[in-house]
Amino acid sequence: MEQQQFFSVLTGLAGLALLWLIILIATRKHIWALAMGEDGRPSTSKLQMLIWTTAIVFAFLAIFQIRFSAGFRDALPNLPDNLLIAMGISVVTAVSAKSIAVNAANSDNSGDNTPAVIVPGVAVPPAPPDPAPAPSSATPHGKSGIFSGNDGNPDLGKVQLMLWTFIAVGVFLANVFALIRHPNCSPTGGTPCNVSVGSLGLPDIGATLMILMGLGHGAYLGKKIAES
């Protein structure tokens, strides 16, 4: 690996290490805590958002270092449309999953709050004791909830969401490393490699992959809404 490639990758990794250190100092928790749900189990929606965040941070800093070394010290060019859409889908899924979980919890805790009618001269019978709570069917904290539902069985919606997340992020990072190795070559290929480093920016992902990723996220949210 050439010196420029080494410093580019090192800059991206240093940015991730700094992010981890800031989170550790601010929260006294490992960065993995960002992917944990309210029930203490790993959250699928939060994990996919964390994966995208780390990938974008690494790619931005690595490519920015190449531009900075070549004398282009301004911000990167505009982000590609499909990459922005994929990032937006990731954020919307995480926020929507959190909203669904909160609404479901509030609905379960609302109960019957109708006030009792007190008639003068009529004794009010004592309230019956609260029934013993039913045993929870949720997956124990020791089991991963990334690919499984509350019953501990594999959840197709979660598996599909994470599958397309891994594929999309993998394709994105493969293009990032291709740009790190050959910053003067067009991301779409072709010769000769005479592209100016000043036009170097984050690579895009294909429209087909972006659509498949959106379908996976839609299936996950649809199942979550049905369950709530």
User: Rounded to whole angstroms, how far apart are CA atoms 15 and 99?
Assistant: 31
pLDDT (tens digit per residue) in 168-183: 999 999 999 988 888 8
Q: What are phi and psi of 42, to 5 degrees?
A: -60, 135
User: Rounded to whole angstroms, how far apart are CA atoms 104 and 98?
Assistant: 10
Mention every residue, 6+ apart, whose C-beta is less than 8 A from residue 187. Answer: 175, 178, 179, 203, 204
With cut-offs at 50, 70 and 90, classify the pLDDT of residue 80.
confident
Angle between helix 44-69 and helix 81-110 axes, rounded to 10 deg: 150
* Contact of 98 with 37, CB cutoff 8 Å: no
Between 61-65, 121-125, 224-228, the lowest mean confidence (pLDDT) is in 121-125
Sorted by where each begins, the domain ranges of the chain are 3-101+147-227
The owner of tokens 């000043």 is 198
User: Rounded to whole angstroms, how far apart are CA atoms 76 and 216?
Assistant: 30
pLDDT (tens digit per residue) in 26-49: 888 888 888 887 767 788 888 899
For the entire predicted model, the pTM comes to 0.76
Average pLDDT, the chain: 79
